[in-house]
C-alpha cells in the first residue's frame, strides 16, 4: 500500500474541494474527490413561484453568473410549453456567448496558468529575449517590446523583495515539474496581468443586454425583458468590446497555449481519465426545436470512439448517493425528474468505502461521463461542426500531434482555448441577426403564457465547465420539486454503487507526483476541469441555521 496524502482545500477554484490521493512508486495509485459543503438550493426552492427560480438559482455561483439563469428559464418554459421570440433567442445566445469569452481566459490565466508557469523564474529572464520570443510566437502580440516586459519584471521584483508575491503567493516555485524557460515565464506573467485587466472590460457585455454582472437581470420565463436595448448603439457597444476580446484571444491566448504546449507534451498522455463524454449542446438557431437546432450539437462519445455520436436521452440520467451524504427513500439511483435532496451526514471525515462527499454521483445509462470543453469539442468534432473541425485540425497540425493527445490534461486545456475562439468568432453573426430583426421593425422579446396547475419539465444547456441541467415539478402553480445536476457534480462526484470513479478521481490515476508534499501535478489535472464546487454543493447547519465559515491557511 502506498502513502496517503490530503489536499484540502484545493485552491484557485470556486468552492471547497478536498482531494485525497494514494501515491505508490512516484505516481497516483488511487484518488478520492470530496465536496465538503452541502448543496441546498433544491430544498429552499420548494413552494416558490416557478418564475422566480432563475433569479434564485443563478446565485448558486458568482463565476458562471448567467448559466443557471438560462437553464432555469428553459426548464420552466419546457414545463409550461412556451416558445420564446427570435429576439429573445438571439439575446440569450449573446449573453451566453459572453460568459464563455470571459470565463475561459480567466480560467487559463488566473486559475490554471500557475500550474505551468514558474513565476519567480521570470526574474531571471532577459526582457529583450522575452520580447523576441513574444514576437516570434505572434508578431501581432500587443505590448511586446523589451520595455514592456522590463516593467512587469520590475513589478514582480518588488513583490519578491517585499517578501510578498501578491496574487502569486500560493505556488510551488522552483518545483521540478516546471519546464518553461525564464523568458516564457516572464511573458506568461505579463499576459496574466493583461488578462486581469481585460476581464473587467469583457464583463461589461453582460451589463449591456443582461443588466449587470454578476447575476443578470433581464431573463424571464417566456423570453427577455431588455426590449429597450434593441438599438444600434447597444449593438455597436457590444460589438466593439467583443472585438477587444477577440484581439486578445487571437493574439495572446491562443498563441500562449501553442507556445506552452511543446514544453509539456508529456502531459498529452497524463490525466485522460474517463473514456465517455457528454455534451448537452447550446446556442439554438432560428426555427426548429432543441436539440435539432443547436449550433453546438447535443451528443455522447462512448469509449473514445471518434466515429459516432450517440443521442442524449434525459430519461437515462440518474444520480447515485452510495458514497454521498444523502439518502434516498428507496435507495436506488433516481432520475432528476423524481430526484430527492435529503441530506444525511454520517460523520465520515476521510475517504473510505462509506460516504465521503456532499456531491451526488450522476450517471448516464449507468456510465460515468466527462463533461466540459473537451467533451463539447469532441462531440462537435465528430458531428462535423465546421468551426470546431477547422480549429482543432489547425492546432493539432501546428503542434505536430495526433487527435489522441486530446484525451489528457493538456488536451482539456487546449479544448477550452479552441472553444473560446470559436464562440468569439460567432458573436458578430448573432449581432447581425438582431440588427436585421430591428430593421424589420421586429422588437418582440417576450411570449406570454399561463402557469399550469401541474407540470414537469427540464432545461439543458452548457456551462463553461460542462453539461448543466435543471428539472422542475410544478403542483398548485408552485415548485413541488426542483433538481440541479451541474458540471462539477458530473466530474467531481464520488464513486457510484458499482465502484466506478468519476472524472476527477479517474483522471488522477497514474499521475506522476515528484513530491507528495508539493502536489503540483495533481493540481494541474484537477484545475484542467475548472472545478466549481459552489455550484455543486452548499452548507448550512439544519439545527442552528448557521452558515459555516471556512478559512484556508
Residue in 246, 370, 535, 538 annotated catalytic:
535
For 436-499, what is the HEC assignment?
HHHHCCCCCCECCCCCCCEEEEEEEEEECCEEEEEEEEEECCEEEEEEEECHHHHHHCCCCCCC
Residue in 18, 68, 376, 416 annotated catalytic:
68
Active site residue 64: yes
Cell matching residue 329: 427513500
Active site residue 226: no
Q: Which residue has the cell 500531434?
A: 401
Active site residue 419: no
Q: 177 — phi, psi (to 5°)?
A: -80, -10
Question: E strands along 294-357, which residues?
Answer: 294-296, 299-301, 317-320
Residue in 64, 323, 408, 527 annotated catalytic:
64
Q: 135 — phi, psi (to 5°)?
A: -75, -25
Q: How far apart, in Å, are the Cα atoms of 455 and each of 307, 458, 474?
A: 38, 11, 5
List all residues 6 or more positions away from 500 whose beta carbon is below 8 Å from its beta carbon: 363, 367, 368
Active site residue 488: yes
Q: How far apart, in Å, are the Cα atoms of 112 and each of 104, 183, 422, 527, 531?
A: 10, 19, 21, 6, 11
Residue in 72, 144, 488, 502 annotated catalytic:
488
Helices (H) and strands (E) in the chain, counts: 16, 14
Residue in 18, 39, 42, 61 annotated catalytic:
61
Residue in 12, 14, 20, 279 annotated catalytic:
14
% helix / strand / coil in the chain, to the nearest 5? 45, 15, 40
Active site residue 75: no
Residue in 465, 501, 524, 538 annotated catalytic:
465
Active site residue 102: no
| Element at 17 (helix H, strand E) | strand 17-24
Cell matching residue 514: 515528484
Angle at 335 between CA 329 and CA 336, to 5 degrees: 95
Active site residue 535: yes
Strand partners, 30: 22
CA gap 211, 21 in Å, rounded = 44
Angle at 359 between CA 354 and CA 360, to 5 degrees: 80
Strand partners, 367: 364
Closest by CA to 296, choosing from 104, 464, 537, 125, is: 464
CA gap 507, 72 in Å, rounded = 30
Active site residue 61: yes
Q: Tell me whether strands 466-475 and 299-301 are parallel, antiparallel or unpaired.
A: unpaired
| Catalytic residue IDs | 14, 61, 64, 68, 465, 488, 532, 535
Amino acid at each position: 500500500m502506498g502513502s496517503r496524502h490530503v489536499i484540502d482545500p484545493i485552491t484557485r477554484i470556486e468552492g471547497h474541494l478536498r482531494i485525497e490521493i494514494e501515491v505508490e512508486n512516484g505516481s497516483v495509485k488511487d484518488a478520492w474527490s470530496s465536496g465538503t459543503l452541502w448543496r441546498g438550493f433544491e430544498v429552499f426552492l420548494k413552494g416558490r413561484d416557478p418564475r422566480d427560480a432563475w433569479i434564485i438559482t443563478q446565485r448558486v455561483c458568482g463565476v458562471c453568473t448567467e448559466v443557471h439563469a438560462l437553464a432555469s428559464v428553459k426548464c420552466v418554459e419546457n414545463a409550461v410549453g412556451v416558445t420564446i421570440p427570435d429576439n429573445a433567442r438571439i439575446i440569450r445566445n449573446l449573453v451566453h456567448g459572453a460568459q464563455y469569452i470571459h470565463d475561459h481566459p480567466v480560467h487559463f490565466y488566473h486559475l490554471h496558468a500557475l500550474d505551468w508557469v514558474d513565476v519567480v523564474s521570470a526574474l531571471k529572464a532577459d526582457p529583450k529575449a522575452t520580447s523576441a520570443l513574444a514576437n516570434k510566437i505572434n508578431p501581432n502580440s500587443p505590448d511586446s517590446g523589451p520595455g514592456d516586459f522590463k516593467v512587469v519584471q520590475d513589478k514582480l521584483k518588488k513583490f519578491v523583495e517585499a517578501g510578498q508575491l501578491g496574487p502569486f503567493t500560493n505556488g510551488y516555485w522552483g518545483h521540478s515539474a516546471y519546464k518553461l524557460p525564464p523568458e516564457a515565464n516572464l511573458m506568461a506573467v505579463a499576459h496574466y496581468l493583461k488578462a486581469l485587466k481585460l476581464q473587467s472590460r469583457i464583463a461589461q457585455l453582460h451589463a449591456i443586454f443582461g443588466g449587470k454582472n454578476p447575476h443578470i437581470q433581464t431573463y424571464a420565463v417566456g423570453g427577455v425583458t431588455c426590449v429597450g436595448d434593441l438599438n444600434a448603439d447597444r449593438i455597436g457597444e457590444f460589438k466593439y468590446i467583443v472585438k477587444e476580446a477577440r484581439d486578445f484571444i487571437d493574439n495572446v491566448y491562443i498563441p500562449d497555449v501553442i507556445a506552452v504546449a511543446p514544453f509539456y507534451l508529456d502531459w498529452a498522455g497524463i490525466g485522460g481519465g474517463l473514456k465517455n463524454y457528454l455534451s448537452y449542446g447550446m446556442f439554438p438557431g432560428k426555427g426548429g426545436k432543441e436539440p435539432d437546432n443547436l449550433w453546438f450539437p447535443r451528443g455522447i462519445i462512448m469509449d473514445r470512439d471518434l466515429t459516432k455520436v450517440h443521442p442524449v436521452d434525459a430519461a437515462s440520467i440518474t444520480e447515485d448517493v452510495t458514497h454521498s451524504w444523502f439518502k434516498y427513500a428507496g435507495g436506488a439511483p433516481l432520475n432528476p425528474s423524481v430526484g430527492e435532496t435529503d441530506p444525511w451526514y454520517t460523520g465520515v471525515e476521510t475517504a473510505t468505502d462509506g460516504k465521503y462527499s456532499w456531491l451526488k454521483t450522476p450517471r448516464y445509462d449507468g456510465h460515468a461521463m466527462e463533461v466540459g470543453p473537451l467533451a463539447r469539442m469532441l462531440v462537435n468534432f465528430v458531428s462535423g461542426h465546421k468551426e470546431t473541425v477547422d480549429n482543432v485540425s489547425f492546432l493539432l497540425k501546428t503542434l505536430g500531434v495526433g487527435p489522441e493527445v486530446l484525451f489528457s490534461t493538456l488536451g482539456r486545456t487546449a479544448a477550452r482555448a479552441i472553444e473560446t475562439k470559436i464562440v468569439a468568432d460567432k458573436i458578430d453573426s448573432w449581432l447581425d441577426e438582431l440588427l436585421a430583426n430591428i430593421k424589420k421593425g421586429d422588437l418582440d422579446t417576450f411570449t406570454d403564457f399561463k402557469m399550469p396547475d401541474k407540470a414537469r419539465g427540464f432545461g439543458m444547456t452548457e456551462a463553461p465547465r460542462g453539461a448543466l441541467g435543471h428539472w422542475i415539478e410544478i403542483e398548485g402553480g408552485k415548485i413541488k420539486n426542483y433538481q440541479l445536476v451541474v458540471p462539477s457534480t458530473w466530474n467531481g462526484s464520488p464513486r457510484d454503487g458499482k465502484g466506478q470513479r468519476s472524472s476527477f478521481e479517474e483522471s488522477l490515476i497514474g499521475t506522476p507526483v515528484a513530491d507528495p508534499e508539493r502536489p503540483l501535478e495533481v493540481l494541474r489535472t484537477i484545475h484542467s476541469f475548472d472545478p466549481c464546487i459552489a455550484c455543486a454543493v452548499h452548507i448550512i447547519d439544519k439545527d442552528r441555521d448557521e452558515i459555516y465559515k471556512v478559512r484556508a491557511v
